[in-house]
Structure formats: structure tokens, C-alpha cells
A and B are shown apart, each in its own frame.
Chain A
Amino acid sequence: MSMKRFFAACLMVAAVAQPAFCANITNKDAEAAVLVIVEGESRMEVAIGPGSTEALCPNGCFVTTPSGDRIGLDGSENVDIVNGSAVVN
């Protein structure tokens, strides 16, 4: 009984820990990074401040990083911006 409860608690914790299924883009550089995000029909510029993280494009998108590289994201990645270039984990 108590064991069941214990594992129920564990599961609940796990449920709370449900990850966000967006692409999380974190800027690890000292200056703000301006990304061009193409999602759906729109093409927009998104600025990410140094050290901050944005959750973007749950449905997949294209990102142009400050280094000029274009990458496709299917919407579940964690991306770091290092030296203006994207590092996908």
C-alpha cells in the first residue's frame, strides 16, 4: 500500500516534470542574438537576450542564426546559441 502510494507520488512528480515540447533556444552569448524564425506562413525576427531562453515553434520551424546558418527544427530540440551559431542538443 505504502509502496503504491510512494510510486504514485513519484509518477506525479514525473508528470509535473513533463517537459515542454517546444524548441527551447538559449542564448549563451554576451550580447542579444537576433534570430529569424520562419514558422507557418510568417517570417519573424526574435531577439533573445543574453542568457535567456525562449520556447519557440512547437510545430517545427526554420531558424536563421546570427552566424548566417539556417537550421530546421522539428520542435523538440534544445538549442544553444554559442558565438552566434546554433548548437543543437
Chain B
Amino acid sequence: MTFRFRAALLLAFSLGFAVPGNAQQQQPVQQPQTQQTQQSQPAAEPAVAPASDQATQQLDQATQDLQRLTDAVNKAREDDSKLAELKVEIDAVGKRIIGVSVSTRPRLDEIKARLTELGDPPAEGAPPEADVVTEERKRLAAERGAINALTGSAENLSIQATKLSNSVTAIRRDLFTNALLKHSEISWDMFRDASAALVTEGQAFRRTVGSWLTFAWSYKRFALLASIFLSLCAALVLVTATRRILDPLTRRRAELEEPGYITRLTAAFWTTMVPTLVATVFAASTYFFLNTFNVLRPDIAPLVSVALGLGVALTFVLRLARAVLAPRNPAWRLVRVSDRGASLLFQAILVMTLVNGLDYFFGKISEVLSSPILLTVAKSFIATVIIGLVLMSMALIRPMVPGPDKSESLGEPWPRAMSVGFVVIGAGLILTALSGYVGLGRFIANQIVTTGAIFVTMYIGILSGKAIAKQNALAGTIVGRHLEQRFKLEQVALDQAGLFLGLTVYALVILFFVPLILLQWGFKVADIESWAFRFFTDIRIGSITISIVGIVAGILFFVAGYFATRAFQRWLDGSVLARSRVDAGVRNSIKTGVGYLGVGLAGLIGISAAGLDLSNLALVAGALSLGIGFGLQNIVSNFVSGLILLVERPFKVGDWVVTGTTEGFVKRISVRATEIETFQRQTIMVPNSMFINAPVGNWTHRNKLGRTDIPVVVGYEAAPRRIMDVLLEIADAHPLVLKNPEPIAVFVAFADATMTFELRIYLADIVNGTGVRNELRLAIFERFQAEGLGKPFNIQGEAGATTAETQAEDDENQDVPAPEALAPAAEEAKARSANRRRPRRIVGTGTSDASDT
């Protein structure tokens, strides 16, 4: 039994895990056997792990894909764009192959772990182990071998994929070089042959087009006319629709003497885009209808499409050139060139575009009619030479705007670099063509025309972005005024909107035109897509990969988390805490604590979403702890102090606190510092650690009850008891003075010529101190005068809100001159006492100011 069991297992493994490369062919044959063995031995476990089975299938699939792609590459050796697409596919297969072997890794780890658990097989002479263990070890070893074999074939496949991918790149490079650097003999013979071929081609062309026209007219007359009619209708609809946009522009064009820059740009944009759009719609619909009604023949279809495309391109370039140069409308010109220069430049551009387009069209004709390649070469040669000549002649144009003293129409010549550049490029083109590299010359000429047009458009786009982003530029435009009325935007908001719009225009211009230029330069859509994908998902700098998408996602998550926290805070504060009647300080602490927690969480989520590994952060934090110990010590201590303040709550927002030399109302308790507003409305940021490490006085900690004193100085002729009674009566009469604790009148000091009394009163709200003191003083003065009690002059001024007993002692030691004494002496004493008790004094004046306002 044991033997049979073992044999069956072994067989099952050896079959199930055969190396994929060879196994694929063998498997179908051996499968029945495996099944048989398994059926005969129901005790045997399923031999093949499903994971590796699946991996094998995936690898098979990848092998097939790779084979298919190899064939496709061989077929598409001449087709650059097809090759570019294939390369993307091949790279994807390569990634998939690696993915397959990555997916088998967990199983391998399991096997290894189990093997370690089982331990090594017993050594020679050692007691034999249980059969089950030996079996399992064997089974695991076999599976391990199978997975390794699988990975080995994945390895080979991956190498194969990379090779194929690299060979595609090589083929594409060769294609490009060959196309560009093909050399052809330029001689009179060639031109003679070419002219002969041209005659033949002309006949062929006439015949083809003629026969098609006859055919279409006789058999497809209705379809032909209908399609032309329908596309005309479509264009007409578009024209009438866009007329509404263009109309105000044309009208304003006539009205405005000196249009603003943005207005000119807008006009240029619309007068270029609208006709181009109309032309595009007309061309597309014509082709579509002709095609749908089966009017086109395979030989005519490419000619028609090229002719239509040529029309659209010509419309665009000419409209654009006219909009930018405005040869007849100097006021609307976008670039600063002279009148004559503008019209000459316009003509040069016209000629170059026309030649370029016609060359393309004729090239297509030759291609369709399978004319000898010689003819194409000759045509391209002529086109290149013409474009070269035009470029050289452009150097002679004098487009620069002359100084004020010279005549406007003539213009200054180009800057030296420009004119030399034109001559060199033009001559270079002609020389390239003459030396036989017509393909290269043609390519460069084409690039100059089309890339130039794209660059000009891009430049205008950037200019308009700049113009919009300029300060207060948007407010002057129609859009700005509309925004202002519609959304009631302020000046600043409008300005910011302008900046935002300007930046958006930049982004759009770059997003749209850079790929266009790359396309023009022979890159393929697939290339650009894969670059863009790479750029946004992983940028590698050395061994570091940055994913823009990840970072943006992280920032978005953080922002979302931040706002969610704020919303939660508001809800908690407004709906829950407000009704729970907790103390304002607790409320503020909870609110702030929740805020810290939420923002911290949002930060963590953001960092994780950005794909940053938090474990690496721990490393940096470890390294930073030294830095924190030294450099960030203060900040950290303030931060921790802030947390302690939140928990301990020695003061709350709105309290009147004194710390060191700072005194005022607490406005805000934040992470690092607490905002205190002094009575003079100065805001002072006091670092939180100051509140923790130094004594803090709080006038309104538990309640706002406080004592305030009014010193009264009278001459010796008055009766002290009477004065004290009067003072108490006055205090009792005031509504804000508390009855309990009751007011006290104290005889504080004897001076040379005066007696000093002090009226000490308690107020329910100490913040009202100054007002009450003021009223009491008035009352005292009036009462004393009425009763002839002497004059209650207070030589020291206000004694302040502070009620320390030391003050009284101070007063006792002070020699106070008689009120009737000379004013300067009193002033001096005042100053002296101010000096001696400065901190107190600041308190006093401060209080008065605060309550005055």
C-alpha cells in the first residue's frame, strides 16, 4: 500500500509539474494517465497546486502573445506608428510575465517555511523518521522544483520580450534614418525623366479623375449632389451659428480705433478658430457623406481626403497669419511689425504654406497612381528649393517698426541674428536638396512650415494667458464685467480669477501644443501616451521614484481630510458642545484638540496615499530627534505647552491675563503661541511655554469679581470720619458697586500737608473698573465741594485696579505735597511714583484704556 501510494504521488508530481516549456505539448497526452493514477489512489492529495497551474496558463498565454507580437512586428517593419503601438503591447506582456512569477512567490515561501519546519532528512545511522514526513518533504521539494522551473521559463520569456521590444526600437530608428537620409542622384537626366513621368502621371490623373467623375455623374449623380448639398448645409448652419460670435467682433473692429491687447487677442483667436472649424466641419462632412453614399472609389478616396485636409490646413494657416499680422489693419496687429513688413511676411507665409501643401497633395497623387519614385523626388526637390528661396528672401524684408523720426511704412531690417538665420536655413535647405538628400530637406522644410505655425499659435496662446493674468486685466474685458455682475465679484477676487484663468490658459496651451509638436516631429501617439503615463505615474531619479498622480492624490486626500475635520469641528462646536452647556474653555479645548487630531490624521492619510512609506519616516524621525533636541527645541516645547494649556486651561479665550510684561485679553490659543490683544489693541504672540514656565495672572479665571481702589487726598482741615462716611455713602449709592463684599473706606496715610484715604470697592465685573472709578470720582468731587469738605485731590492719579496692600504701604512712605502746593511739585511726585511702581501703573492705565473703548 505504502509503496503504491508513494509511486502514485511521485508520478503525479512529475507529470503535474513538468517544466512548462516542454510540458505544454506533453500535457494533453499525459493528462489521462495522471487522472487515472489519482482515481486509483483516492488517498493522494491533489498533486498540482492551483496557483502554479494558473501561472502556467498565464505564461502560456504570454508565450502566445509574444509569438503573435513577433509576427506582427515582422509584418509591420515599414509602419512606424504600428511599431510604436506594438512596442507598448510588448512592454505590457513583459510586465505581465514578471507579474506571473511574482504571484508564485507566496507559494514558494510557504513551501520553504514548511520544509524548514520538517527539518533536514535524518543523517546516516540516525533513527529513520516517519514515512509521512519523508513523503511530504519529497512532495514539497518537487513542488519547489516545479515553481523554480516555471520561474526559469518566465525568465527566458521575459528576456525574449525585452529583446523584441528593443528590436522594435532599433527598427524604428532605422526606419527614421532611412527615410530621412535616403540619397538620390540630382541631375538633368533625372529631371528629364521626371518630366516625362509627370506627363504620364498627368494623363493617368486626368483619366482616373475623369473616369470617376463620369461614373459618379452617370450612376451616382444623386448621391454626389446630395452629399455636397448636405455638407454645404452643415457648413452653412455652422456659419450662421458662429456669425453671432463673430458679428460683434467685426462690428467692434470697425468701431474701435485702438483696441486693447486682450481684445485683439480674442479677435485673433475667434477669427482663426471659427473659419477653421467651419472648414473642418465642411471637409469632414463632405468626406463622410461621399463615403456613406459610396461615391468614392478606393483610388479617389485618399486624393479627396488629402485635398480636403489641405483646404483645412490652408484655411487655418492663412487665417492665423492674417490675424497675427493684420496686413491691412495696423491697429489690430498682434506683433509689432511695420505695415509693409506685415504684408510681405504674410505673402511669404502664404507661399510657403501653399508650396508645402501642394507638395503633399502631389506626393499623394504619385502614391495613388504608383508613379515612379523619381517623380516624387523631383517634386519634393522643387518644393524644398522654393521654400528655401522664400526663407532667404524673408531675410530681405524690413519688418521692424522704425523709430519715431523715420517713415512708418518702410521699416527697419531684421535684427542681425534673425536675417542671418533665415539665410542660413534657406541656403541649407537648398544645399541639402541639391546634394541629393531630398528627403531630409523636405522633412526640414515641412517642419519649418508646420512647426512654425504651431509655435506661432502656441505663442499667441501664451501671450493671451499672460495678458489675462496681468493685474486687473480681466476686469476690463467683457468676460470680466460679466463675471462681476453675475457673481458679484470684488476687485481682488476678479484679479485672482484672472490669474487663475491665465495659468489655466498656459496649462492648456502646453498640454495641447507640446504633443502636437512632438507628433509633428515624428513621434507617435502611443509613444506620447506612454511617456505621459510614465511622467504621471513614475518619474525615476536615480533610485527614487516619484509618482505625480500619487502626490496629487495625497494632497487631495489631505485637503479633503482637512476640510472634513473643519466641518466636523464646526458641527461639534455648534450643534453638540453648544447645547451641552460645557464651559467655554473646555469647548475650545475640545474643538482645538479635535482639529489637531483631524489634521494629523489627514496628513497621515495623505502621506500614505502619496505612496510614501511611513516606516521610512520613522528612520528620518530617528535622525531628526537629534535636530529636534537642538534646533526645534523651542518649537516642540511650545507645542507641548500648547497641549498642556488645552488640558489644564489656566485661561480661556476672552480672559484678561497678565504674564511678564504682557497684559491683555486672550484672543486665540494656537499650536505654538497664544494671541493676546492688549488694551491698546496691539496683538502680541506669547509663546505657549511662557504660560507654562512663568506665573500667569488671570483677572477673570473663575469669576470676574475684583476690587478696585480710589485714593482720595484731602488737607488736614477736614474731619477724617466725616470724609470716610461720605466716601462710603457715595460708594453705596453707585449701582455697580457690590454690597457684599461691602465697600471699605480706609485712612491710608499722613503726609506733610494732606491725609490720604482710600475707597476700596468690589465690582462684579472688574472689566468695568475704569468707568465705575470715573463716576465715583466725579461724585466725590461734587459731594466734597457741596459739603465744603476740602478738595479731594489725588496727587498720584489713579491707583490702578490692582489692590495689593503693598500699595498702601508705598503711599505711606511717600511724601505727598499739599494739593495747594505748586503744580510742578505735584507733577514731579507723580512721575517719581510712576517710576517706582511701574508695573502696577501699566496695569492701571491699561485698565482704564480698555474700559474706555
Q: A-side interface residues toward B, CB under 8 Å?
A: 2-3, 6-7, 10-11, 13-22, 38, 40-41, 43, 55, 58, 60-62, 68-74, 85, 87-88
Are B540 and A58 within 8 A (Cβ)? yes
Q: A3-B671, A6-B671, A40-B162 are in contact. List 5 more A-B contacts (CB 8 A).
A: A14-B617, A18-B546, A41-B162, A74-B98, A87-B109
Residues of B within 8 A of A13 (CB): 617, 620-621, 624
Are A60 and B155 within 8 A (Cβ)? no
B446 at the interface (CB under 8 A from A): no
Q: Which of A18, A20, A22, A62 is close to B155, meaning CB atoms less than 8 Å apart? A: A62
B36 at the interface (CB under 8 A from A): no
Consensus secondary structure, chain B interface: helix
Are A70 and B613 within 8 A (Cβ)? no
B519 at the interface (CB under 8 A from A): no
B616 at the interface (CB under 8 A from A): yes
B363 at the interface (CB under 8 A from A): no
Q: Give bound CA distance, A58 to B673, whole Å.
A: 46
Q: Interface with A: B100-108, B751-759, B793-801, B804-812, which one? A: B100-108
B825 at the interface (CB under 8 A from A): no
What are the 5 A-B residue pairs with the smallest beta carbon separation, nearest first?
A72-B101, A21-B545, A70-B151, A60-B98, A20-B543
Q: Give bound CA distance, A24 to B207, whole Å.
A: 71
Residues of A within 8 A of B159 (CB): 38, 40-41, 43
**6 A-B pairs whose Cβ atoms sit less than 8 Å apart in the complex:** A14-B617, A41-B159, A58-B543, A70-B151, A70-B155, A71-B108
Task: Output the least CB separation between A19 and chain B (Å).
Answer: 4
B152 at the interface (CB under 8 A from A): yes
Residues of A within 8 A of B99 (CB): 72, 74
Known: A7-B599, A38-B159, A74-B102. A60 touches B154 (CB 8 A): no
B163 at the interface (CB under 8 A from A): yes
Are A2 and B544 within 8 A (Cβ)? no
Q: Give bound CA distance, A6 to B670, whole Å.
A: 12
Task: Output the least CB separation between B417 and chain A (Å).
Answer: 42
Task: Output the least CB separation between B343 and chain A (Å).
Answer: 55
Question: Could you tell me how many residues of chain B have their Cβ less than 8 Å away from some Cβ of chain A?
Answer: 48
Are B98 and A69 within 8 A (Cβ)? no
B309 at the interface (CB under 8 A from A): no
B640 at the interface (CB under 8 A from A): no
Are B671 and A21 within 8 A (Cβ)? no
B148 at the interface (CB under 8 A from A): yes
Are B98 and A17 within 8 A (Cβ)? no
Q: Which of B151, B538, B606, B639 is close to A71, meaning CB atoms less than 8 Å apart? A: B151
Q: Which of B101, B147, B624 is close to A62, meaning CB atoms less than 8 Å apart? A: B101
Known: A17-B616, A72-B104. A41 touches B163 (CB 8 A): yes
Residues of A within 8 A of B635 (CB): 6
Q: Which of A19, A38, A74 is close to B612, meaning CB atoms less than 8 Å apart? A: A19
Task: Output the least CB separation between A40 and chain B (Å).
Answer: 5
B144 at the interface (CB under 8 A from A): yes
Q: Which of A7, A18, A55, A72 is close to B151, meaning CB atoms less than 8 Å apart? A: A72
Task: Output the least CB separation between A46 and chain B (Å).
Answer: 15
Hey, what's the 0/1 contact readout for B30-61 against A, CB within 8 Å counting as 1? 00000000000000000000000000000000
B112 at the interface (CB under 8 A from A): yes
Residues of B within 8 A of A3 (CB): 599, 670-671
Are A14 and B673 within 8 A (Cβ)? no
Contact residues, B621-679 vs A (CB, 8 A): 621, 624, 635, 639, 670-673
Report which residue of A3, A17, A20, A85 has the largest number of chain B beta carbons within 10 angstroms of its beta carbon.
A17
B158 at the interface (CB under 8 A from A): yes
Are A71 and B105 within 8 A (Cβ)? yes
Task: Output the least CB separation between B585 and chain A (Å).
Answer: 20
Q: B-side interface residues toward A, CB under 8 Å?
A: 95, 98-102, 104-105, 108-109, 112, 144, 147-148, 151-152, 154-155, 158-159, 162-163, 166, 538, 540, 543-546, 599, 603, 606-607, 610, 612-613, 616-617, 619-621, 624, 635, 639, 670-673
Q: Give bound CA distance, A61 to B639, whole Å.
A: 47
Known: A13-B617, A20-B543, A38-B155. A69 touches B112 (CB 8 A): yes
Residue of A nearest to B638 (CB): A2
Residues of A within 8 A of B540 (CB): 21, 58
Are B544 and A17 within 8 A (Cβ)? no
Q: Give bound CA distance, A74 to B154, whole Å.
A: 13
Report which residue of A11, A87, A88 has the largest number of chain B beta carbons within 10 angstroms of its beta carbon.
A11
Q: Give bound CA distance, A2 to B543, whole Å.
A: 34
Q: Which of B100, B104, B603 is close to A11, meaning CB atoms less than 8 Å apart? A: B603
Q: Give bound CA distance, A19 to B670, whole Å.
A: 33
Residues of A within 8 A of B98 (CB): 60-62, 72-74
Residues of B within 8 A of A14 (CB): 607, 610, 612, 617
Task: Output the least CB separation between A84 and chain B (Å).
Answer: 11
Are B151 and A17 within 8 A (Cβ)? no
Residue of A nearest to B156 (CB): A38
Residue of A nearest to B152 (CB): A70
Q: Give bound CA distance, A60 to B166, whole Å.
A: 16
Q: Give bound CA distance, A41 to B156, whole Å.
A: 9
Are B603 and A2 within 8 A (Cβ)? no
Q: Give bound CA distance, A86 to B603, whole Å.
A: 35
Q: Give bound CA distance, A7 to B606, whole Å.
A: 12
Residues of B within 8 A of A72 (CB): 98-102, 104-105, 151, 154
Q: Give bound CA distance, A74 to B96, whole Å.
A: 10
Task: Output the least CB separation between A12 and chain B (Å).
Answer: 10
Residues of A within 8 A of B105 (CB): 71-72, 88
Residue of B nearest to A67 (CB): B112
Are B613 and A19 within 8 A (Cβ)? yes
Are A18 and B670 within 8 A (Cβ)? no
Residues of B within 8 A of A11 (CB): 603, 606-607
Residues of A within 8 A of B612 (CB): 14-15, 17-19
Task: Output the least CB separation between B152 and chain A (Å).
Answer: 6
Report which residue of A3, A7, A14, A38 has the largest number of chain B beta carbons within 10 angstroms of its beta carbon.
A14
Q: Give bound CA distance, A5 to B791, whole Å.
A: 60
Q: Give bound CA distance, A20 to B101, whole Å.
A: 22
Residues of A within 8 A of B624 (CB): 13
Are A60 and B95 within 8 A (Cβ)? yes
Q: Give bound CA distance, A15 to B551, whole Å.
A: 10
Residues of A within 8 A of B101 (CB): 62, 70-72
Are B544 and A21 within 8 A (Cβ)? yes
Q: Give bound CA distance, A21 to B540, whole Å.
A: 9
Q: Give bound CA distance, A62 to B98, whole Å.
A: 8
Residue of A nearest to B112 (CB): A85
Q: Give bound CA distance, A85 to B112, whole Å.
A: 9
Residue of B nearest to A83 (CB): B116
Are A21 and B543 within 8 A (Cβ)? yes
Q: Give bound CA distance, A42 to B233, whole Å.
A: 62
Task: Output the least CB separation between A47 and chain B (Å).
Answer: 19
Are B544 and A18 within 8 A (Cβ)? yes
Are A73 and B108 within 8 A (Cβ)? no
Are B620 and A16 within 8 A (Cβ)? yes
Residues of A within 8 A of B95 (CB): 60
Residues of A within 8 A of B621 (CB): 13
Task: Output the least CB separation between B537 and chain A (Å).
Answer: 11
Residue of B nearest to A68 (CB): B148
Are B543 and A7 within 8 A (Cβ)? no
Q: Give bound CA distance, A69 to B100, whole Å.
A: 16
Residues of A within 8 A of B154 (CB): 62, 72
Residue of A nearest to B55 (CB): A72
Q: Give bound CA distance, A38 to B159, whole Å.
A: 8
Task: Output the least CB separation between A1 and chain B (Å).
Answer: 8
Task: Output the least CB separation between B543 and chain A (Å).
Answer: 4
Are A73 and B102 within 8 A (Cβ)? yes
Task: Output the least CB separation between A4 and chain B (Å).
Answer: 10
Report which residue of A55, A61, A71 has the largest number of chain B beta carbons within 10 angstroms of its beta carbon.
A71
Q: Which of B144, B543, B599, B607 is close to A69, meaning CB atoms less than 8 Å apart? A: B144
Are B671 and A2 within 8 A (Cβ)? yes
Known: A13-B624, A68-B148. A55 touches B617 (CB 8 A): no
Q: Give bound CA distance, A66 to B621, whole Å.
A: 36
Residues of B within 8 A of A69 (CB): 108, 112, 144, 148
